[in-house]
Structure formats: C-alpha cells, structure tokens
Amino acid sequence: MQFQAQEFLPIVEAGHKLLTFDIEATNLRGDYGSILCASFRPYGGKVITVSTETPGDDKKVVREIREIMSDYPCWVSYYGKGFDVPMIQTRLLVNGLAKLEKKHHIDMYYVLKYKLLTARRSQAHLLRLLETQQQKLDVSANAWNQVMHSPKAMELMRERCESDTEGLQALYDKTKHLIEEITR
C-alpha cells in the first residue's frame, strides 16, 4: 500500500513516529572526524540529546544514535541525506557497528530547494525568512576550534544541535504542506 505524503504525515505525527534530528561533528568527513552529539525531537515531544564524553571517541554515541533512529519509521532532517546520515553510517562502520537501516526520510533542504526560490538555502536564512520563533544558534570559529579540549565549547555544540533540531521542527511545521513525496 502506498500513501500520499499529505495523508501519511498526519498519521506519523499523531503516532509520534516522526523524528527530526541533527548532528554536530568535528569534521565534514567521517574518516577524519567524529560525531560530537546528536539531537532528536519526536513530533510533539521534547528534544533528546546524546553526546560523546570525549571528543574523538564516538563509538557509544553512534550506537545510541542508531538505536534512537531505528525506533522511528520517518525522519526529518535538513541536508541529512547529504551529511548527517552518511556521517552516521561512516562512523558506525569505522567503529565496527551495524549500519543504520533506511527509513522514510524527508530532507527539508531538498524539499525547499525545489519548492522555493530564495537567494540562500541555509536553514538559518529560511527560519528568518519565515519569521519563526526558533532561530539557529550561531557558533564562532573559535568555539569549533576549542571543542576538542573545552567542556564549555562542547556544551555550546550540544546547545547548537538542540537549537537546530528545534528550528527544523519549526521549519517543517511552516512548510510541510509543500512535501509531495517521501523517499528512503
């Protein structure tokens, strides 16, 4: 049986089976970087954040990410198909863990790229454009550079990850009527 996106979304929303998520990492490539933290927000629920205790050692956190994501049949991300999921898969592989199973995945970056004509495609820009209450937390280059040895910088990364997930939920709510198909 195949559902139309606009019929499917209210079902997974009502069942709290729609999961928005975001990760923060030390690098844009999984062979040279590791995952610092991940935040998840079940639709209608509160943000759940998992993070590494020691930046660079992400085995425990990637296992937790896989376990959380496996409980949800539908994910929502912003450029998650281009970064978050491949990064998670790479770090699972590097750590000798089972892969993340494919689920229905709505990547709002691609939904909005083809539905809106904006000068910029960043989540931060779209949140400002749509005047959502939730805005993206800006993190300085210095904080990124200090994350490996500063608990304060690591806490800021967790806050950013949670902020991104909250912003993603707001962006999804404002634009979900534009979603026409959901792929894996």
At position 165, the amino acid (one-letter code) is T
Q: Which helix (H) or strand (E) holds 182?
A: none
Confidence of residue 67 (pLDDT cuts 50, 70, 90): very high
Written as six digits, the tokens of 5 are 């996106």
Residue 24 has pLDDT above 90, yes or no: yes
Confidence of residue 69 (pLDDT cuts 50, 70, 90): very high
Residue 97 has pLDDT above 60, yes or no: yes
What integer pLDDT is reported at residue 184 of this predicted model? Answer: 82
Helix (H, G, I), strand (E, B) or coil at 53: coil
Residue 23 has pLDDT above 80, yes or no: yes
Instruction: Dump the DSSP string for 4-33.
Output: -HHHHHHHHHHTT-EEEEEEEESSSSTTT-
Question: Which residue ranges make up each domain of the chain?
Answer: 5-107+117-178
Is the pTM here over 0.85, yes or no? yes
Give the architecture-level CATH label for domain 5-107+117-178: 2-Layer Sandwich (3.30)
pLDDT digits (tens, 9 = 90+) for 49-63: 999 999 999 999 999
